[in-house]
Amino acid sequence: MALLTQKDLDERNQQLEERTPDELIRWAKDTFGERVAAISAMQTAGSIVCCMLGQLKLDIPVLFVDTGVLFQETLETRDRIAAEYGLEIRTLTPKQTMAEQIAERGILYLSPEGQEICCDLRKSQPLHAVADDYDAIISSLRRGDGGKRAKTPILSIDPKMNCVRINPLANFTNEQMQEFMETHHVITNPLHEQGYPTIGCNRCTTPVLPEEPKRAGRWRHLGPWSMYCGINATDVEGGTEGGIELSLDLIDRILGRETDFVI
């Protein structure tokens, strides 16, 4: 095994910057084979990635974390996407129901410190539980969403999952998103049309006013508008520090040292 750091990916990221999302998804399949999955929370960008996966027919499964307190519309969007795009969606769940968690620990999501623990228990840990199955996860983070996402690299490391995160939509603009959705009639969560620009758990998500930032409805009861759940390493301060351990052969393929990236 050898160590791969975020800095090791700098040159590769520059090379991949001009690639289209489809090309990046194909590259992910060529590079990681059966050990790549996508992850989607069934929000707009995640739905676009699912649509692309359905069109490409590469047999890449989709991970979906069901915290047990999601909106019904989100679950129905997942089911529609699985059925209509022909995708295998692997639903991951926390160890406890929310009722069991509250009985044991109290209502964690009512304080900033508790929110971190709750998101870890209900979002991050279910994902980390399948870390051994994958060397790469295709995510749908976009620089156009601003905040901590403004510098999202195409490839990043995720030390907690010991995997590479691939963001094929990293440099997709808002206009490209809109055009893709209209052209391909992408299945989207109906809550987006009901005042929810971003959607998480029903306990911690509200609609936003037209003049508010997009993420104003996330953890509104806790104050600041720029909080993240921590499931994405690049959203967390220092989240990509350290390195991940992969076989040298795989690192060579990721970095294009042996098998060059051919379109």
Please give the residue ranges that form the binding site for ligand SF4 (CB under 6 A): 67, 69, 109, 115, 118-119, 122-123, 200-201, 203-204, 229
Whole-number minimum distance, CB 219 to ligand SF4, in Å? 7
State the Rg of the chain over Cα: 18
In the bound complex, which residue of the shown chain has the CB atom lying closest to ligand SF4?
201
Distances, alpha carbon 257 to alpha carbons 16, 17, 151, 250, 254, in Å: 14, 17, 25, 10, 8
Pairing of strands 244-246, 2-4: antiparallel
16 or 119: whose CB is closer to ligand SF4?
119
115 or 234: whose CB is closer to ligand SF4?
115
Task: Clarify whether 50 is annotated catalytic.
Answer: no
Which of 50, 51, 163, 229 is catalytic? The answer is 229
Whole-number minimum distance, CB 31 to ligand SF4, in Å? 32
CA angle, residues 158, 161, 163, in degrees to nearest 5:
60
Whole-number minimum distance, CB 21 to ligand SF4, in Å? 27
27 or 219: whose CB is closer to ligand SF4?
219
Whole-number minimum distance, CB 246 to ligand SF4, in Å? 29
168 or 239: whose CB is closer to ligand SF4?
239
Residues identified as active-site: 229
